[in-house]
Structures are given as structure tokens and as C-alpha cells.
Structure 1
């Protein structure tokens, strides 16, 4: 992407299979401050597809791209991943206070956490410690459209500090020419 020539990203492969990549310094401190200031008064209990759940204890809000910072972050995500965000959900900003967690499930870190708050992938025994300004990316689906069971992950409880997270869920539809599908069971 031409925008990445002038502002390259630092990429770290955290795990090979499934591919889990961390991008460092993706969101500036100023952007984080703006996102948290916009979000804080709008936060409400985070829901799952089944509504309120004891498995998820956080507060969150979806932010539309009518805010220039939100739009810029969404564009940056598209640039880095090479995926279209036209069929993606709005940026979802969440706060996990002390004890906040999200039990294992299939799915940009905006704060460091003093103790706890790691994202863990139990199937492959990987734990990623939150790092302010970084983003972690992986595909939940194989190229054949089946769920990649190795991407089941959880948010560990925050034991000290606060964890702010921004999620951008990009749907597979609309990616046909960006991430080719496969009929192979293994892809």
C-alpha cells in the first residue's frame, strides 16, 4: 500500500499456525486519548450475541467513522491488512476494569496493563500481553470458510490497572479479491 511507504509498520509474528501478527505503534497516544474521551461517556455493558453474559465483563461502545480519528484508524487497518473495511463493523472500543475478562470465544490494544489482561489462545498455548498502541491480527476463518479452531481465544482477568481495547471485526464477505477462497480442507 502506498501509504505504508511513508509510514511503515513494525510487524512481529507472534505465532505461525494460526498466523497471529502484532503490529507495533499503530495508534498514537493522542489518538488513544481521543478514542477514550469519546468512548468513556458512551460506555455500556458489553453484550454477546446472546445478550448480557457472565462470560464477558467489560463495557463498550461502537464508534462510527464520522469522527476523523475513527475513520483514520479504520483506513489504517485496511492499509495494514490489505482487506476492505466496507463490510466491517464499526470500531468497538471496550474497557476492562479490575476483574474484567472475556472467556474463550472466536473473534488494537490501547493500554498497557499492570498485571493480567493477556489475550490467550488455549488451543496453541499462546498468551499475548497487552501493549499500548499495538494491534494484533489473525484470521478466524480458514480460506475455505470454516472456523479455525486454533483461533479460539480469551481475555484474561485484569488484576491491576485498566485495559482499553479497540476491535475492528472485518467480515469475509467483500474480500473475495483480497483473500482468495479455497476448496482445500487444509487452507
Structure 2
């Protein structure tokens, strides 16, 4: 991850990557297609442009600092870990208009249903903060209780701000680096088609060198009864 944040990753060939207007995932997209950019085929990563709007961004970023807490990866074990991490406000979806609107957009983007309520974490990365590399999947073989709840099939990140310098989302095992762009959404699969974890979905956030970065995080679970998007 450190090499990637310094700009030393060798980007994969983009000969088989395309940009398009997604108008087929749901019927709504026939009227309002999403501008879609393929970032990687393994793991399958897409960037959707203009996926969240200014009024929605304002809703999620009006968070008081006292309401935020430190965020850690799933394998966090001690408060003495030597890294600076983001502050986060978790929104437990209440099914209000904004909640439903964003859930519908997630479905339009991914083809996956997230149910009736969202689980969003609005995170703020201040100057010098970053998030260490981690995987969003938990692996059913290690956590058998996931046979009932399902593992984390895919992740979608909505970028709520531009960053002057730093703050890239990086996939070190895939040699992929994505610069935050306000209003865009980054989507990727954490699992292969057979449900096995894709270790190349390991990702993190580079340190903020100048400015700050906001994002809400949405995790989509395999147990949700939804058709698998083409990939």
C-alpha cells in the first residue's frame, strides 16, 4: 500500500477496459443512464460518475464532530495500533426519503438489492489520516455463521468531496489506484462468482496530504436475494 500511495504501482493494462453509459441494470436507467468507467477486471471495479447529488452530500456531511468516533478494520485488536484513522458517523437506516432514494440508486448502480434500510458510515479523513489496507469479506470458512447471514459480496463507496492531495483508494494487490472525485461512486466485488473471497479486493485509503475527504460507505451482502450483475 505504501508503494501505491507514493505512486510506484504499475497500473494494469487498460486495453480491455471500457467507458459506457449503463442503461440496462434496471428499467430506470433507460431514462437516466449512469456514466460508467471500468477500472479493473480482477477484482471487478467500476466507477460511476455523478452518482450522488449536492443536496444528498450536504445531508451526510452535516455531522457534528462530537457525534463521530474512530473507525477500525474488522481485525482491529488494540487501541495502540500505530496509525491515524478516519472519524466516522454510522447512520442506521430509518427508511426515510433520503434513505430510500440512496438505496434505490445503489440498486440501479449495482443490480443488487440492499433491502429497505441502509447501513451507512459517513467518514471524515482529516489531514494526515488514512485507513489501513483491509478486506471487506470475512470468509465463510473462517466465520461459519456467515452461512446464515452471507458474506460481503460487494462494496460501494460514494465520494462526497474532492481532495487536494492524497486520499486515494488503493488496491495494492491489483495495482489499482482511484482518485476521489466528488459525486462519483466506486463499486467492486469482494467475492468471486463461486462465493470464494477475492484477495485482490484488499484495499485502503492513502494519507490525506492536503484538505480532507468525506465518504459514506455501503456494504452489500451476499445473502440478499438479488440477481448477480454481469461481470
TM-score of the two chains, using structure 1 as the length reference = 0.87
Unaligned runs of 5+ residues in structure 1 are 181-186
User: Hey, what does 2:99 align to over in structure 1?
Assistant: 70
Whether 2:227 is the aligned partner of 1:178: answer yes
Structure 1 residue 68 displacement after superposition: 2.1
Structure 1 residue 45 displacement after superposition: 1.2
Structure 1 residue 75 displacement after superposition: 1.6
More strand by share: 2
Q: CA RMSD in A?
A: 2.2
Unaligned runs of 5+ residues in structure 2 are 1-25, 137-157
Match runs of 1:152-167 below 5 Å: 152-167=202-217
Match runs of 1:107-118 below 5 Å: 107=136, 108-118=158-168
TM-score of the two chains, using structure 2 as the length reference = 0.71
Larger radius of gyration: 2
* 8 Å CA contact 1:109, 1:133 repeated in 2: yes
Match runs of 1:30-179 below 5 Å: 30-38=55-63, 42-49=67-74, 50=76, 52=79, 54-55=82-83, 57-66=85-94, 67-86=96-115, 90-107=119-136, 108-175=158-225, 177-179=226-228
Flag as ranges the 4+ runs of structure 1 deviating above 6 A: none
* 8 Å CA contact 2:99, 2:118 repeated in 1: no
